[in-house]
Structure 1
């Protein structure tokens, strides 16, 4: 079995059409059919059911596809890790973060790493916590800044800081607010539920502790957009208290909801990957 057999098999399995798969691979259909037949003969199983109307995967074909894709992802991770070891401190370094944690400290981190490793190319990605976790597991990110919870056996983490929550509202439209329950009838602006489901649910839970379910009309996957919507009078929101230092507008007020409601911000790295850069970055952030 050669790598080209796997490549051709995955193309047909994805398209379930030999003509389309051949076009995708930039080869003609007869050689593709021969390669698939060779693979089936070597395995001693039928991977596809074929007739004039359609192509489908057999049960054995479905299993083979799932396992092969998983193995190829593992191989890709090994290749990426090998390149990073080879590049050492002269290649690329990828940092993931969520918009609600971007701060002056992260900008200072980039400056610190640039000065310490002048040949290093740093890439910043604003990515949800869930997608960061997957990227870290596959060695596609070197460092991630996420919100708990973290459930993974392939990632190391350190607590960066505990963040409390604050109600944010337009003080030109809403006056004399002393508690969250006082805005229970207002329109709420939250993070998108599909983008950050755990964080979304935590905000709903906070509201329920104050005796109401929020009327969530607007959603966004970016903290800056949420702040601007509130600033423009389109609703109120609950945000991490740490972000108020980056959003000082005269028409906005932040009401701290207390230290009993907190969210953990974690610094994460792939397990079993030794990195001088990551060690330096983590030390800097924890100073």
Structure 2
């Protein structure tokens, strides 16, 4: 018994007409009739009643049709998974991302990839843009979520979204509501300069625009740690506006800053390393 015998049987069972079934299958009627007869001979039962110039399923044929339809769906799923494995979607896929990306977005991405590629082993690395660029250049990451600038001849990137900035502070500790210049005498919490130099310098530039040099007392390599320090009243900070939604704590207040200051978030991959998984991931994030 071959797979084509089963496909031929299902076509005839659906049409109950050999001529119509042969048209659907794009074969002539005599070979189709012969293939069905071979199937009946092999399993030892008559599947169709061909009397009175009509084609009807026998009781055995009706049962065979019902069960075959059910199990063929399982077979199609098996074939699909087999194809996925053959396309190398059952290995390890490494994603780097900066901590200032909404955690929910990363979770949604992993859920999407897990559903689409169930045999994929996804590894996540929360690392700085600088370290991601090096890892991408060395093919140690398959996908990187970084902040511009990204200058490398070994990496391809796409703009994911543009982000503006907000001042964040604990309103229970600081009773102010003006623009950034009113906070010039406050303690500031920034990303570590060596960890995220471009981001660090961007924040200095913003403060300079508002006429002061920030008093940076605390530094951290993680945005969640920075926000926690601010929540505890240990300083104020400047963060990407996109984080407001995921850190909407009652004690925190946000002040929108000059919209001319923006930060570009990029989706990056090693150049000349094409991957269907990366295409899927990037398409999902860009939707």
TM-score normalized by the length of structure 1? 0.69
In structure 1, C-alpha distance between the alignment counterparts of 2:262 and 2:105, rounded to whole Å? 20
Question: Is 1:273 paired with 2:248?
Answer: no
Q: Which residue is 2:243 aligned to?
A: 243
In structure 2, C-alpha distance between the alignment counterparts of 1:121 and 1:161, rounded to whole Å? 27
> Are residues 148 and 228 of structure 1, via their aligned partners in 2, closer, same or farther at CA, if it must alter by over 3 Å?
same
Q: Which residue is 2:211 aligned to?
A: 211
Q: Which residue is 2:254 aligned to?
A: 254
Structure 2: give runs of 5+ residues left out of the alignment: 1-84
Please say if residues 103 and 243 of structure 1, whose CA atoms lie closer than 8 Å, have aligned partners that are also in contact.
Answer: no
Deviations 1:159-217 (A, max 9, x none): 00001000000001112322000000000000001100110011011101100000000
Please say if residues 190 and 237 of structure 1, whose CA atoms lie closer than 8 Å, have aligned partners that are also in contact.
Answer: yes
Larger Rg: 2
Shift of 1:102: 3.5
Deviations 1:145-165 (A, max 9, x none): 000000100101000000100
Structure 1: give runs of 5+ residues left out of the alignment: 1-84
Please say if residues 190 and 220 of structure 2, whose CA atoms lie closer than 8 Å, have aligned partners that are also in contact.
Answer: yes
Q: Which residue is 1:234 aligned to?
A: 234
In structure 1, C-alpha distance between the alignment counterparts of 2:102 and 2:152, rounded to whole Å? 23
In structure 2, C-alpha distance between the alignment counterparts of 1:127 and 1:190, rounded to whole Å? 16
Give 3-state SS (helix, strand or coil) of 2:283's partner: helix
In structure 2, C-alpha distance between the alignment counterparts of 1:267 and 1:151, rounded to whole Å? 13
In structure 1, C-alpha distance between the alignment counterparts of 2:96 and 2:215, rounded to whole Å? 31
Aligned length in residues: 203
Q: How does 1:131-280 map to 2 (within 5 A)?
A: 131-280=131-280
Give 3-state SS (helix, strand or coil) of 2:139's partner: coil
Shift of 1:86: 8.3
